[in-house]
């Protein structure tokens, strides 16, 4: 992600302040990832959070401020939006599924694009992050359905 944001010709060392606002209602996830990104790759920038990890936000609510040299703030902005957008989206979606499931746990698959970051987002949304074996929890996959209800599956497939 960092290599993709190599700059668009900005050359100003002038300090600026930017902000990120929520585009929709949801749950914030990825604050520690953004903090690490800024410390490691944009050391002249400072992030001030207006929310905490796992906190609900409303559309339009200010999530954070970032200040620093214009060239660094502008490079960092898209990366922060990508991280927060993906992780908060997963946390928000997970929370919706957990709410619908009631007393049934909702777990994520181990087949995720971003690995630990996606799993953390599921955790922030209230989901479970791992199932060690089929005995740990009920998980119904597509290939299980014919064995569970063979007659109804035959009708659905016709």
What is residue 3's predicted lDDT score, i.e. its pLDDT? 47
23 within some domain: yes
Is 33 in contact with 42 (CB distance < 8 Å)? no
116 within some domain: no
Q: How many residues does the chain have?
A: 158
Sign of CA dihedral 28, 33, 37, 39: positive
Q: Is the dihedral of CA 136, 140, 143, 147 positive or negative?
A: positive
Helix (H, G, I), strand (E, B) or coil at 38: helix
Please indicate, yes or no, if residue 80 is contained in any of the structural domains.
Answer: yes
**Residue at 51 is within a domain:** yes
CATH code at 45? 3.90.1170.20
Q: What is the rounded average pLDDT of the residues 127-145?
A: 66
**What backbone phi and psi angles, to 5 degrees, belong to 17?**
-125, 130
Band of residue 85 on the pLDDT scale cut at 50, 70, 90: very high
At residue 2 the predicted structure's pLDDT band, cuts being 50, 70 and 90, is: very low
Domain residue limits at 52? 3-90
Rg (C-alpha) for the chain, rounded Å, is 20
Longest alpha-carbon distance in the chain: 70
Would 86 be classed as within a structural domain?
A: yes
Is 70 exceeded by the pLDDT of residue 140? no
What confidence tier does 27 reach under pLDDT thresholds 50, 70, 90? very high
Question: For residue 45, is it within any domain?
Answer: yes
Residue 61 is encoded by which pair of tokens?
């609510």
pTM: 0.73
Which of these ranges, 103-112, 122-131, 140-149, has the smallest mean pLDDT? 140-149
Count of domains forming the chain: 1
């Amino acid at each position: 992600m960092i290599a993709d944001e190599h700059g668009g010709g900005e050359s100003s060392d002038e300090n600026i302040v930017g902000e990120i606002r929520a585009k929709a209602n949801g749950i914030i996830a990825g604050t520690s990832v953004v903090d690490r990104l800024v410390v490691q790759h944009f050391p002249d920038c400072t992030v001030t959070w207006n929310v905490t990890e796992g906190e609900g936000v409303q559309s339009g609510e200010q999530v954070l401020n970032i200040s620093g040299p214009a060239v660094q703030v502008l490079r960092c902005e898209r990366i922060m939006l990508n991280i927060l957008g993906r992780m908060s989206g997963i946390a928000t979606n997970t929370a919706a599924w957990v709410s619908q499931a009631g007393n049934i746990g909702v777990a994520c698959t181990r087949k995720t694009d971003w690995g630990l970051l996606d799993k953390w987002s599921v955790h922030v949304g209230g989901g479970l992050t791992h199932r060690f074996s089929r005995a740990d929890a009920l998980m119904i996959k597509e290939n299980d359905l014919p064995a569970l209800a063979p007659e109804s599956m035959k009708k659905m497939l016709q």
